[in-house]
């Protein structure tokens, strides 16, 4: 951002808005802001002005003229003391009032100590910019949705764990609404104190960390009994390894390789055919010898 004829906005010299769709706060910091500087606030924004760390005003979308302390005597000595710059340090914080989506994810466990992965999505909008600015800390020129999600992650993790730690694996999906209600209540309580309006909250993903357990749950969901679901998962793993016995595992029947059945490849010893009435050590006589 820059000043062009003492105009302050989030649009830079190239006409690009510095406040992106993932930004909650964009800070304009300068000591060159003077009295009658033009402040432009665009739609879905509110501007919070701070003079020397104190909030002096909140401006809605539109064009506004800033008023900085103007005393000719103090300005003269200030210029000498501060090398020509007035000591009125001005910060303009542009706060987004649009609706945003944030996601928090983590790991917890069930009543049987089964590791579970979860992901929660929540939609919100900043209703009180002053409360929001006073509730967070950021050292960069921007404060993003991802930063806000990191701040709320411990609250989401605690809410999810309180429900899942007391729920069995077989009952988790039947009680999924309890997890949603717990997370919504905790987030709304914290966001209200920060000047943020929580619109809605939902559980995007809740599944075991182990891939085999996830697949077994999916197979049982389509109507397979637990034993068949386990065989289906084993058959899937065997098929990925190009194991010819994968189909037999799925059907639950023994697998006999073809070379063992026929006796090929020298696996089974050849069986000597024995004629009745002749001892194995004796050779059969030829027809001419018998005569």
Q: Could you report the per-residue pLDDT of 18-53, keeping only the tens digit for each?
A: 898 999 999 986 656 665 678 889 989 999 988 877
Per-residue pLDDT for 62 more than 70? Answer: yes
Specify the pLDDT at position 11. 84
Q: Which of 146, 141, 143, 121 is nearest to 132 (CA)?
A: 143
Alpha carbon of residue 138 to chain centroid: 22
Specify the pLDDT at position 268. 46
pLDDT, mean of residues 168-196 = 93
Percent of the chain beyond pLDDT 90? 45
Widest Cα–Cα separation across the chain:
150
Q: Which of 181, 53, 165, 160 is nearest to 104 (CA)?
A: 160
pLDDT, mean of residues 156-167 = 94
Specify the pLDDT at position 203. 93
Per-residue DSSP letter, 182: H
Question: How many other CB atoms are there within 10 angstroms of residue 291's CB atom?
Answer: 5
Alpha-carbon gap, residue 190 to 188, rounded angstroms: 6
Per-residue DSSP letter, 62: E
At residue 4 the predicted structure's pLDDT band, cuts being 50, 70 and 90, is very low
Tell me phi and psi for residue 29, to 5 degrees: -120, 125
Alpha-carbon gap, residue 132 to 174, rounded angstroms: 36
Instruction: Indicate the range of 19-28, 113-122, 179-188, 260-269 predicted with least confidence.
Output: 260-269
Tell me phi and psi for residue 230, to 5 degrees: -65, -45
Question: Which carries the bigger pLDDT value, residue 270 or residue 139?
Answer: 139
Question: Which carries the bigger pLDDT value, residue 172 or residue 289?
Answer: 172
Instruction: Indicate the range of 34-43, 124-133, 156-165, 214-223 predicted with least confidence.
Output: 34-43
129: enclosing H helix or E strand: helix 129-135
Alpha-carbon gap, residue 101 to 125, rounded angstroms: 9
Per-residue pLDDT for 145 more than 70? Answer: yes
Percent of the chain beyond pLDDT 70? 76
Specify the pLDDT at position 170. 84
Per-residue pLDDT for 84 more than 70? Answer: no
Nearest-5° Cα angle at 77, 75 to 83 = 90
51: enclosing H helix or E strand: strand 45-51
Q: Which of 239, 232, 169 is nearest to 206 (CA)?
A: 169
Per-residue pLDDT for 290 more than 90? Answer: no
Per-residue pLDDT for 267 more than 80? Answer: no
Specify the pLDDT at position 287. 56
* Numbers of helices and strands, H then E, in the chain: 9, 11
Tell me phi and psi for residue 156, to 5 degrees: -65, -45
At residue 94 the predicted structure's pLDDT band, cuts being 50, 70 and 90, is very high
Q: Do 238 and 245 form a contact (C-beta atoms < 8 A)?
A: yes
Specify the pLDDT at position 14. 80
Instruction: Indicate the range of 88-97, 114-123, 265-274, 279-288 predicted with least confidence.
Output: 265-274
At residue 137 the predicted structure's pLDDT band, cuts being 50, 70 and 90, is confident
Over the chain, what is the mean pLDDT?
82
């Amino acid at each position: 951002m820059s000043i062009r004829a003492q105009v302050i906005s989030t649009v830079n010299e190239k006409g690009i808005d510095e406040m992106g769709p993932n930004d909650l706060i964009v800070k304009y910091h300068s000591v060159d802001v003077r009295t009658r500087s033009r402040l432009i606030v665009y739609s879905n924004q509110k501007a919070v002005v701070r003079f020397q760390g104190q909030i002096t005003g909140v401006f809605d979308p539109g064009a506004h003229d800033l008023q900085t302390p103007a005393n000719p005597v103090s300005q003269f000595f200030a210029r000498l003391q501060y090398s020509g710059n007035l000591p009125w340090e001005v910060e303009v914080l542009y706060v987004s009032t649009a609706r945003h989506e944030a996601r928090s994810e983590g790991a917890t466990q069930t009543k049987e100590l089964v590791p579970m992965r979860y992901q929660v999505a929540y939609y919100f909008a900043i209703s009180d910019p002053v409360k929001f600015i006073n509730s967070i800390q950021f050292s960069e020129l921007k404060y993003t949705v991802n930063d806000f999600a990191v701040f709320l992650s411990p609250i989401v993790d605690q809410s999810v764990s309180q429900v899942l730690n007391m729920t069995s694996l077989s009952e988790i999906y039947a009680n999924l609404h309890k997890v949603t209600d717990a997370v919504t209540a905790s987030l709304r309580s914290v966001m209200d104190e920060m000047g943020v309006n929580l619109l809605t909250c939902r559980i995007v993903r809740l599944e075991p960390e182990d891939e085999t357990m996830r697949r077994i749950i999916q197979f049982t969901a389509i109507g397979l009994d637990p034993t068949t679901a386990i065989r289906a998962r084993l058959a899937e793993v065997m098929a990925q390894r190009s194991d010819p016995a994968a189909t037999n595992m799925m059907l639950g029947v023994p697998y006999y390789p073809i070379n063992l059945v026929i006796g090929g490849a020298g696996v089974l010893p050849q069986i000597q055919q024995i004629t009745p009435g002749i001892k194995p050590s004796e050779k059969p006589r030829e027809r001419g010898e018998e005569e």
